[in-house]
Amino acid sequence: MSVKAPKGVRLVITLTGRRNAGKSSLINAICGEEIAIVSEMPGTTTDPVARHHELLPLGPVTFYDTAGLDDEGPLGELRIQAARKVLFRTDVAIVVAGEEGLTAYEKEIIEELRRMDISFVVALNKRELRDDLDADIRWCNDEGIKVLAVSANGGDGVRELKESLITMAPEEFRQEPLLVRDLISEGDWVVCVVPIDLAAPKGRLILPQVMVLRDILDGDAIGMVVKEREIEETLANMGKKPALVITDSQAVLKVAADVPDEIPMTTFSTLMARFKGELEALVEGAEMFDKLKDGDTILMGEACSHHQVADDIGRVKIPRWITQYTGLDLKFEFYAGNDFPEDLEKYALAVHCGGCMLNRTAMLRRIRECRRRGVPITNYGVAISKVQGLLDRVIKPFGLGEM
């Protein structure tokens, strides 16, 4: 994959620690080029800064260079909060300690990383300026923490640090990810139903559709793309039964009526639910639609802040379909972007977008955080299939039982 790979399939590596610990210098040393601004003045890095790089053999990664955890004043506190929010979409973290060694600041973030179940390594930077590394190394060893003494300026220990990052990467970054290939075979025909509506980017397909089409081709299968009003005629003239029909969730009701029951059918969003998160958990979350009560509040979560249209899928259509399905007086609150609300307990249910702009770790963390705090979570596509009475059919290709 190239450095221009979508954000959602990049490994996210976050460097965190105190001001002037050498985080920016360490990014440059790992990458072998100056991609981060370096200064002796504490606080040079303010808001978290994303740096893209190709880290072999993992492929494209994003390094986040965060503000120091000991930043001061009201603005400093906001910077610290922004740095902590980056952790929610982090796959691997590097806790960087400078000349002061491991202080309460570093140990606090280590506990936070442990709580969030984020793999991390401690980098004792500026080793050439320290002769008291033993105590910090011993503390890390006692805590079962991976620790390396490095020098961003001299290069000592940098190769070992890169190797640690590769080892700690989640499994999906060390193996070829699959979207649909395990559901089809070489030479199979797959029909992709792609409606063109107001929300579709002009001249382009949306990212999940592009990703699925590429995966079909990588599996040496044959992909056909049609609009929803062409599916019946396409199936009649194909001359053979397709191995799978994949439709946009917004057209699932019409497409299901035109696709015979013996032809497996699912949706792009359901494929993304499995690719990005835990499909079983999202399907289980959809059961909450049958348990809602008048006055319940539903969180509608979006991973990106896209341009809203008159009949927006997340802000208009899905809330309308949910209301029609339940017949209840429900409240909907909308949350867009990289952040996730802290007061999750107030919601009876979370309905999340497909997460195509999130990496898998960030999406899994959102799913698990909701479940840990007792909030069922599902996603747009699973929710649409549920409220339109088609969930059993779209999850059948994955070997899931009736829900």
Pairing between β-strand 49-55 and β-strand 59-65 as defined by DSSP bridges: antiparallel
Percent of all residues in the chain with a pLDDT value above 70, rounded to a whole number: 83
Most confident of 58-67, 310-319, 345-354: 345-354
Note the maximum CA span of the chain.
77
Question: In the predicted model, what is the mean pLDDT of residues 88-104?
Answer: 89
Average pLDDT over the chain, rounded to an integer? 84
At 245 the pLDDT is 98
pLDDT confidence of residue 15: 92
DSSP 154: T
Q: What does the alpha-carbon distance between residue 169 and residue 90 come to, in Å, rounded to a whole number?
A: 11
Structure tokens, 277: 């998160």
Does the pLDDT value for residue 39 go beyond 50?
A: no
Residue partners of 166: CB distance under 8 A and separation at least 6: 55, 57, 58, 174
Distance CA 199, CA 385 (A): 19
Residue 3 has a pLDDT of 43
d(CA 190, CA 196): 19
What is d(CA 221, CA 293) in angstroms, rounded to the nearest whole number?
Answer: 46
Q: What is the pLDDT of residues 249-275, one digit of tens each?
A: 989 999 999 999 999 999 999 998 888
Contact by Cβ (8 Å): 69, 108: yes
Least trusted range by pLDDT, from 7-21, 118-132, 270-284: 7-21
Q: Quick check: 152 pLDDT over 90? A: no
Nearest to 98 by CA among 21, 151, 168: 21
* DSSP-derived 3-state class of residue 304: coil
Q: Which domains does the chain have, with CATH numbers?
A: 7-174 (3.40.50.300), 181-271 (3.40.50.11420), 278-387 (3.40.50.11410)
The three-class DSSP label of residue 179 is coil
CA atoms within 13 A on the CB side of 27: 27
**Beta-bridge partners for 61:** 11, 53
Which tokens belong to 105? 């600041």
Tens digits of per-residue pLDDT, 282-318?
999 999 999 999 999 999 998 875 555 557 888 999 9
Confidence bin at 75 (pLDDT 50/70/90): low
Task: List, for residues 169-209, the tens digit of each pLDDT value.
Answer: 877 666 655 789 999 999 999 999 998 765 556 677 888 89
- Residue 196 token pair: 């063109």
d(Cα 20, Cα 154) in Å, to the nearest integer?
17
Q: Which two tokens stand for residue 198?
A: 């107001």
Six-digit token pair at 60? 């494209």
Pick left, alpha or beta for residue 331 (phi over 0 → left; psi -120 to 50 → alpha; otherwise beta): beta
What's the rounded Cα separation, in Å, for the pair 165 and 63? 11
Residue 200's pLDDT is 59
